[in-house]
A and B are shown apart, each in its own frame.
Chain A
Amino acid sequence: MKFLTKTRFAVAAALIFVLPFSVQARDFSDIKESGVLKVSNSGAYPPFSFVDLAGNVKGFDVDVANAIAEKMGLKAEVKTTPWNGIIAALVAGKYDACICSMSDTEERRKAVDFTSDYYWAGSALYTKQDSGINSVKDMNGKVMGTTLGETANTWAVNMVKDGKGSWSNQTFQGLPDLLLALDTGRVAAIAVDDVPVAVAMKEKGYKFRRIATEGLERYPAAITVQRNQPELKAAIQKALDEIKADGTYTRLMDKWIGFDISR
């Protein structure tokens, strides 16, 4: 998972450069007064945040930020900041919130506060529409494709080693190879980070089916705010609950991801 491997960099940057200087930035009443909620993302994690060829920052995280700000009666000002400094920038008060696909970890909780999760990501199993495979068990005797270095690769290998599965593993160098292998029938299913697959399916027109993923880990991404900002955190949480309840969230999920990431 991209946002997990980068955890250490982000936390290290925060600890080294910011913690000694950490200050109370704008509190919720200041934010309400200004009418603007300053939100950051990395701009480098499609389809959650990315820059299109017209130079606009777009994606699921951007739309969620706009929807949440609207519920709070504010206007979102969404800016990108390099991932390895994103916690540092939040702690230094450059932004009010980071709606940036950040997974909620113990390590990060030492520096910042999280709302409840706003989506889940992780690995999943994909197969062709007509493959007849409906669970991990159906893979026995077939070929499983994975990408070197991903958590799903370790999972697929260990499952066989531990006798929990009896498929043969084939490891690929990257997602394009993996998708091609599935599309051409060289493997029966692939176990892979799900969101990049969703993007590729959308762009390349692949029609793969996502199937039950027991045993594959999933991680929550949550909205990050500075510590000791209970009012702001509560207001964002309330707005998040509202957009989940009124269907806005589902609409954005369909628009950018194409499958359910709310759990």
Chain B
Amino acid sequence: MDFALMWEITPLLLKAAWITVTISVMAFILGLAVAILLVIMRSASFRIIRWPSRIYVSVIRGTPFFVQLLIFYYGGAAFGINLEAYTAGLLAIGLNIGAYMSEGIRGSILAVDKGQNEASRSLGFSRTQTMISVILPQAAGLMIRSLGVLGVIVIKGSSLVSIISVVELTYQSQRIISSTYKPFEVFAVSAALYLILIYGVISIVDWLYDRYTRHLHH
């Protein structure tokens, strides 16, 4: 074990880890926006609005993320769109995870007892009021858990954008290995950084979960 080298490359990998963080956070936010839109569309009364949402989710979930990423980066050229690697990676992750998030959100809403909805509506609340004041607070716990898992998946999945030349943690590690010939040392540091990032996400999720489910335990 070359500890000196591990120490030496840490600042460089930290910088790369920051790219992993920014692309993951931005993709997560984009994904959340996409997911909310999909859920609203899915609950619309008109089939013409519901169907695009279902098709989108099926297509995204039914194809490998890797292929989606390559289409975003290389395929845009056919339509005169030449995306930078970072932008292409960000869009690909965000649009991909959005489909999974929409199912997570929908699932946690559907998990709330139907009686809650009926009771609220019979008390005179509107559909929107019912959703915001009655259903969502009860769905929050489950929703936070499932979105948290997807947050972890986003971070780990962001390593795939290395293939389209985004210099994030994984690609930077590979580049350093090719000049140092020390794969174990380099990947050990990089794995440790991933572990820290992912445990950071998990503790944020735990904190949010406690905060939004406080009303459940007296």
Q: Point out residues on A near B: beta carbons under 8 Å.
A: 17-18, 20-23, 25, 43-46, 50-55, 79-82, 85, 88-89, 92-94
Q: Point out residues on B near A: beta carbons under 8 Å.
A: 8-9, 12, 15, 70, 73-75, 77-78, 80, 82, 85, 162-165, 167, 171-172, 174-176, 178-180
Residue of A20, A51, A93 with most partner-chain B CB within 10 A: A51
Query: Quick one: closest A residue to B74, CB to CB?
Result: A92
Complexed CA–CA distance, A82 and B172 (Å): 11
Q: Is the CB of B78 within 8 A of A43?
A: no
Q: Is the CB of A94 within 8 A of B174?
A: no
Q: Which residues of B contact A88 (CB under 8 A)?
A: 74
Complexed CA–CA distance, A244 and B9 (Å): 36
Q: Is the CB of A45 within 8 A of B178?
A: yes
Q: Which residues of B contact A93 (CB under 8 A)?
A: 77, 82
Taking the nearest CB of chain A, how far is it from the CB of B11, in angstroms?
Answer: 9
Q: Is the CB of A25 within 8 A of B82?
A: yes
- In the complex with contacts A54-B12, A85-B163, A17-B171 CB distance below 8 A: no
- In the complex with contacts A18-B74, A25-B82, A52-B179 CB distance below 8 A: yes
Complexed CA–CA distance, A17 and B9 (Å): 34
Q: Is the CB of B165 within 8 A of A50?
A: no
Query: Quick one: closest A residue to B180, CB to CB?
Result: A53
Q: Is the CB of B165 within 8 A of A55?
A: no
Q: Which residues of A contact B73 (CB under 8 A)?
A: 92, 94
Q: Which residues of A contact B164 (CB under 8 A)?
A: 81, 85
- In the complex with contacts A44-B174, A82-B163, A93-B82, A21-B77 CB distance below 8 A: yes
| A–B Cβ pairs within 8 angstroms, 17 of them | A21-B78, A44-B175, A44-B179, A50-B178, A53-B9, A53-B12, A54-B12, A79-B165, A80-B165, A81-B165, A82-B163, A82-B165, A88-B74, A92-B77, A92-B82, A93-B82, A94-B73
